[in-house]
Amino acid sequence: MLFFQDTNALALRTLPSALGASRKNNWEMNSIAVPRMPGEAMGAICRLVDQTDPSKEIVINVEYNQLDSLLKAKWNKDGDIANAKGYSHFPGNTNTLLFKLPEYVANLERTKGVIPEFVNPKYADEARNRFKAPTRLECMMQEYPKLISAKGAVGFTTYDTWFSFSPVKNNVKDAAALSAKGMPSFGAAQGEYDFFNWSIQVLEKAAGVKVEQGEVADWAGVKLSFGPKVLLDPTFGLTISDIKRKVTGANALSKHSTLIVKEAASRIEGLNLDGYLSLADSAGTGEITTKKGNVAFEKATESDDEIYRIRGYKPETQ
């Protein structure tokens, strides 16, 4: 059973390989993680050991508002510091969680599903004098390891961020502020960009497709480089090996291209695209749609619909 954050469109891309990791290691719970920056506002996967009884340990998420003080007290006086690659030593929890059902059901029957409560205040200022929103008690699904007694039953699988994590949870103002600090913006523009980028990265890394990158532009304070807009629908391929098998020969995409590929029967071979192409071999009809020009973006204005204002851009008027 998979739990995932509903605004993270990339969560399901991890499922096939995460299932394999869970099966291989016989994990009751598998947390999908990504590298995180020190101080980044996301929970971290940690291995906690009981000081009075070292045989007792737990692999669990620690919320970011508790992490630094915990690390300073028990691990390093400087807290959440960077490793040699610039990332935190503790991977970030994406709230994509995979559970083994028989043990999950048994634990729910034994505990009645009661998980310890947690308070996670959100502050509006650095001095922590004002709340950003009303503080509430929470029972978090990522604290499920507290209900597990078997040692070694919990693990985590780390993916590159581009492959697995881009939640849309911040408004335009907050997204711009994070982008200015060099942090992930987690706004609507970033979420859509990363969805295109997943397909581009897979085509480049797995199938050797040559992709021309676009220029960096400012979209309401979030700087992104939209090149080709590519959608590889899950009906085309669920795994990297699926896609690699169906994309053969020498292929290239210009930065002005838009490519949409659907249906299991679709294939790409010797494609040199500088325009719009949609492949949808629905019911064996071999449907192909082409258009002159490209789907380009321009800056949104206050008079535009909300679906464009939250991104900072809209389709360019042809």
Q: Which pLDDT score, from 0 to 100, does residue 291 have? A: 67
Give the 3-state secondary structure of 116-175: CCEECCCECCCCCCCECCCCCEECCHHHHHHHCCCCCCEEEEECCHHHHCCECCCCHHHH
Exposed (0-12), middle (13-18) or buried (19+): which is 258, by Cβ within 10 Å?
Answer: buried
| Residues of the chain scoring pLDDT < 50 | none
Give residue-wise pLDDT tens across range 14-34: 999 999 999 999 999 999 999
Give the list of residues 6+ apart from residue 214 with CB closer than 8 angstroms, or none. Answer: 225, 226, 227, 228, 255
Q: Which pLDDT score, from 0 to 100, does residue 114 have? A: 87
Q: Which pLDDT score, from 0 to 100, does residue 282 have? A: 55
Q: Which pLDDT score, from 0 to 100, does residue 286 have? A: 60
User: What CATH topology corresponds to 2-164?
Assistant: Spore Coat Polysaccharide Biosynthesis Protein SpsA; Chain A (3.90.550)
Q: Which pLDDT score, from 0 to 100, does residue 281 have? A: 61
Q: Which pLDDT score, from 0 to 100, does residue 152 have? A: 76
Exposed (0-12), middle (13-18) or buried (19+): which is 263, by Cβ within 10 Å?
Answer: middle
Model-level pTM? 0.85
> Hey, where are the domains in the chain?
2-164, 172-315
